[in-house]
A = this chain, B = another copy of it.
Amino acid sequence: MGHEFDLGIEVRPLGEGRYAAHLGEGWHVGGGVNGGYLLAVMGNAIRNAVPDKPDPLTFAINYVGPSVPGPATVVVRTVRDGRGTATLAVDLLQDDQVRATGLATYGDLAGLPAEVRTTARPPEIPPVEQCVSSMEAPEEMKRAAPLMSRFDMRLDPATAGWAVGEPTGEGRIQAWLRMSDGREPDPLLLLLAADALPPVTFDLGLPGWAPTLELTVHVRARPAPGWLQVGHLTRNVAGGMFEEDCEVWDSAGRLVVQSRQLAKLPR
């Protein structure tokens, strides 16, 4: 089928838990390759390592250095392969240096009990056609951040003021999200979706790249096809860092991702 995402996360087994990957030019943004895309590449290698447990349930990652487009090696080590879940350690290397290191719990989301008891509510975003399309961004911005072209992102106008120099100061951004080429969401794509929106610091009037120290994603359910709703916010900017709490909801109104990252403020 050749969807961009599937081509971008392809891995080739080299034996002994090692996988060859190629980080695509199209996933670059700001100071390096997008962190959510890296998570999906690493997640795809893990999936190869434990095929009977196809889905990430939890994935925590530390970014230790910027990744660049080009060849990369993913190394997967199984810490424990249990009955229902497996725990795996994973590194992504370029030029023999670790660029990202992670810990994941994999399992089978389809095999979990169906009962849901939730008080969480989806973000309130106006209908897609009333939102601000990322396609309308200036050409030079899209050239500098090719990642933007992978997505069809429709920003809630109430949280998009920063795009015209009027951030709200609240530290919240929310949007409709789907892939530009129609690739439907699945658990691996949710790893990307958890790090897809512009940094919440844009809405605090702090433009620029905000390097992530740590990101933890919990995938809570398999997503239904269609648009995703993504919202993230920060409540505590302190010590030169801020947290970014993200939720992803599917078209059936189900909370499919809860994630949090700790990032450095832009310089």
Residues of A within 8 A of B (CB): 57-58, 60-62, 64-65, 79-80, 82, 85, 87, 89, 91, 98, 101-103, 105, 109, 112-113, 115-120, 170-171, 204, 213-214, 216, 218, 220-221, 235-241, 243, 255, 258, 260, 262
Contact = CB atoms under 8 A, between A and B. Distances in A.
Contact of A221 (B62, B102, B235, B238): B238
B214 A105 contact: yes
Contact of A87 (B64, B236, B243): B64
A79 B240 CA distance: 23
29 contacts: A57-B213, A57-B262, A58-B214, A60-B60, A62-B79, A64-B87, A79-B91, A79-B101, A85-B213, A89-B101, A103-B103, A103-B214, A112-B238, A112-B239, A112-B241, A113-B239, A113-B240, A115-B240, A116-B238, A117-B237, A119-B170, A120-B235, A214-B218, A216-B260, A218-B243, A218-B260, A220-B236, A220-B239, A236-B255
A101 B90 CA distance: 12
A213 B58 CA distance: 8
B58 A262 contact: yes
Contact of A80 (B64, B82, B105, B238): B64
A162 to B, nearest CB: 16
A221 B237 CA distance: 11
Contacts of A91: 79
B117 A238 contact: yes
A69 B241 CA distance: 37
Nearest to A110: B239
